[in-house]
Amino acid sequence: MAVQEKKTARSMWWLLATVLVVELMDLLDSTIVNVAGPALERSLGASPVGLQWVIGGYALTLGAGLVLGGRLGDRYGRRPMFLIGLIGFIAASLLCAIAPNIGLLITFRLVQGVAGAMMLPQGLGILRDNLTPRELTKALAVFGPVLGLGGVLGPVLGGALVDWDLFGLGWRLVFLVNVPVGIAALALSWRLVPRAEQTRTLRVDIVGAVLVAAASALLVFPLNEGQSAGWPLWTWLSLTAAALGYVAFALWQRRVVRLDRAPLVTPSLFGKSAFTVGLVAVALFFGGLIGTQLVLTFFLQIGQGFTAGQAGLGNLPVALGTAVGGGISGGLLAARLGRAVLQAGAVVQFAGIAWLWLALADTTDFTIWHIVPGSVVTGIGAGIVIAAVFNTVLGAVADNEVGSASGVLTAVQSIGGSVGVAIFSTVFFAGEATPSFRNALIIQAVIIALFLLISPLFPHRARPDDPAADVDTPTTAGEVSLHR
């Protein structure tokens, strides 16, 4: 009996490791190319707009496809979609690595995001389907902190790879590293991920998927192109069309329900003010967080002449602060303070942003130590919020809505990050490096203030029936996919 239990435990950890590697690849690719900007400019002649698309295009297609990816996993099985997404991700990474020009690199990044959207929703679903509640609790205790830290360590790893310049590959290593890691993960996944039942009677809402993808593209495209084009009429028309597209998507979902079909998103969610406010808050928070992290990297490389590796290490204080903040929040504050932990985290983050802004008033003799204290405090505040925000927002929804709500939250987080990249990049490239970075920090402060303003509308506590609610670890962006 003891031998069987040990074998089961070993299998659980191997399955967890396999899923974790795949999810980390996807997560790291959201930020790993942040430090490759100057190298892309030298190698491919990339413009600031091109850099925005390389970085933000991935988040765009990832976010637009996540809900559909989860539904396809329900329809055709999580194992097949997991493997198909992983194969597509490996192939797209290889194509990115050999891209001869910026146009093709952007195209392959968009494809990479689509593959990630097929793969990412399946990982935690596979764990949920194959682990006992006790095993799942143990798995989440590892999953949360690793993914939370992995997301902010992307620039550090990316900078090291660019500076390493193995065989003269430079920035191409940022994408090429996914190939051997992905192949190893594919071999393990083929062997370890069990086959499961499929829901062949489930109809996939293709019209809904097209509507949400089109609306997302219409939103991000003018934000990326508007600054260089001088904000002509078509940019404002595109933004208006994006808003109408999201409205059309919501109306279509209601019609699908009336026809007694399975919608991509449960329409009743949009009737819950707390959940709707939560979506806005998540978009604001992650848009500001990812945008600020990006312009920090730009400032260090373009404004201060840091190498890619040095700029990547410049993100390390934020990463360490995020890990500390997440541990404090998930292990102590969230259970005691409820939604107030979000407000506490935002206030700490605001203090860190203010510290950074003041530290950059004079950069005559700039060293990395000018920004380390403010970066650490900012990271601690961000970590406190990240550890609690998803479970807090999910407290507004009913049991039968949790899966759909989780998918929407994950997608909004990703699209919010893409919008943040577009907006903050536009602000940074509008002027000199240091003043532009300080202007970006002011925008981030405004975003935090808006987050604080609407936070009283959140539910008071995380869902009591949430499997992750009993786990004293941060809830990360990826974890919400568990409920699919």
Q: Does residue 201 lie within any of the structural domains?
A: no
Indicate whether 133 and 270 sit together in one domain. no
Q: Which amino acid is at 216?
A: S
DSSP 330-374: IIIIHHHHTTHHHHHHHHHHHHHHHHHHHHTS--TT--GGGTHHH
SS3 225: helix
Do the beta carbons of residue 185 and residue 22 sit within 8 Å?
A: yes
pLDDT (tens digit per residue) in 257-303: 888 887 888 777 877 878 888 888 888 988 898 889 889 988 998 88
Q: State residue 478's pLDDT score.
A: 37
Tell me the angle at which helices 102-130 and 48-76 cross, rounded to the nearest 10 degrees.
30
Domain final residue, candidates 166, 194, 222: 194
Specify the pLDDT at position 141. 58
Which range has the worst mean pLDDT, 164-173, 193-202, 208-217, 447-456? 193-202
**Neighbouring C-alpha atoms within 13 Å toward the C-beta of 484:** 31
Percent of the chain with pLDDT over 90: 22
The predicted pLDDT at position 48 comes to: 80
Identify whether 219 is part of a domain: no
State residue 471's pLDDT score. 38
Last residue of a domain, one of 170, 194, 218: 194
**How far are the Cα atoms of 99, 119, 174 from residue 94, in angstroms, in the given order?**
9, 17, 10
398 with 302, same domain: the answer is yes
Separation CA 470–CA 376 (nearest Å):
28
- Predicted confidence band of residue 479 (pLDDT cuts 50, 70, 90): very low
Please state whether the predicted TM-score (pTM) of the whole model is above 0.85: no
255: in domain: no
Cβ-in-10-Å burial (0-12, 13-18, 19+) of 41 comes to: middle
**Based on the domain organization, do 178 and 284 belong to the same domain?**
no
The pLDDT tens digits for 209-219 are: 889 888 988 88
**CATH assignment at residue 310:** 1.20.1250.20
Residues 159 and 283 occupy one common structural domain: no
Work out the number of other CB atoms within 10 angstroms of the CB of residue 450: 16
Q: Are 174 and 37 members of one domain?
A: yes
Give the least confident one: 54-63, 172-181, 220-229, 234-243. 220-229
Specify whether 307 is located in the same domain as 181: no
Residue 157: Cβ within 10 Å count = 18
What does the pLDDT read at residue 460? Answer: 63
> How many domains does the chain contain in total?
2
Pairwise CA distance, residues 416 & 429, whole Å: 20
Boundaries of domain holding 445: 265-461
| Cα–Cα distance, 247 to 253 (Å, whole number) | 10
Domain closes at, from 168, 194, 220: 194
